[in-house]
Copies of this chain bind each other. A is one copy, B any other.
Amino acid sequence: MQFSSALLESAVNEFAKLPGIGKKTALRLVLHLLRMEEGNVQGFGETMIRMRQEIKFCQRCHNVSDSDICSICSNLSRKQEIICVVESLREVIAIESTQQFNGAYHVLGGVISPLDGIGPEQLNIETLVNRVRQEQTQELIFALNPTIQGDTTIYYIQKKLQGWPGRITTIARGIAFGGELEYADEMTLARSITNRLPVESYRSAT
């Protein structure tokens, strides 16, 4: 692309560095900023800078937070003794949006993946193990993606917690609501048959 303005070109290049945004989309976004009020563009830029500078990570669960302890961890009406273990804050947001979970979280920051050079030391596993042993934790719910890496991570943490008397569970896998049996993959269908539920518990969940 040929630009007649270096300012425009550098703005397009900055946008194009973001994932999933090519040069054409970047140009469209920059042209939109150009049409916006100057004050609003200033607000846009400053919000990004401030977010990056001031955001903190909760010292207890490693979720993003505005203070040292996040609003979920400091909420005493939530069951702090039930911990949902997730890969990133993306899953925290997804689970919170369901409004069905009233416990606490622990963000691992990834899953064990030796091929990508990610071992247990790079993840927030030690803090989880310490937390579970120190606090009155009753249950760990693993909500990791169903990959070999996710399963390895669950296995590793389970080993580390040997002798701990609490419950360790994982979220249910099965046919999604609205999904058709015919098109489900074999693995999912097989698991959903193995882990079948009594009809009463199914009714009460819907």
Contacts and interface: CB of A to CB of B under 8 A. Distances in A.
A2 B49 contact: no
A92 interface: yes
Nearest to A75: B4
A20 B30 contact: no
Interface class of chain A by DSSP: helix
Contacts of A36: 52
Contact of A7 (B1, B4, B66): B66
Copies, count: 2
Contacts of A29: 18-19, 21
Interface string A50-79: 111111001000011110001110000000
- Among A32, A55, A63, the one with the most B-chain Cβ atoms within 10 Å of its Cβ is A55
Nearest to A93: B1
A201 interface: no
B1 A97 contact: yes
Given A41-B52, A45-B49, A49-B41, A19 B8 contact: no
B10 A30 contact: no
Interface string A1-39: 111111110110010011111000101111111101010
Nearest 4 CB-CB pairings of A with B: A45-B45, A2-B96, A41-B52, A45-B49
Given A5-B64, A8-B64, 9 more contacts: A4-B70, A5-B66, A7-B51, A10-B47, A11-B51, A14-B43, A19-B32, A38-B52, A45-B46
Interface of A: 1-8, 10-11, 14, 17-21, 25, 27-34, 36, 38, 41-55, 58, 63-66, 70-72, 88-90, 92-93, 96-97, 99
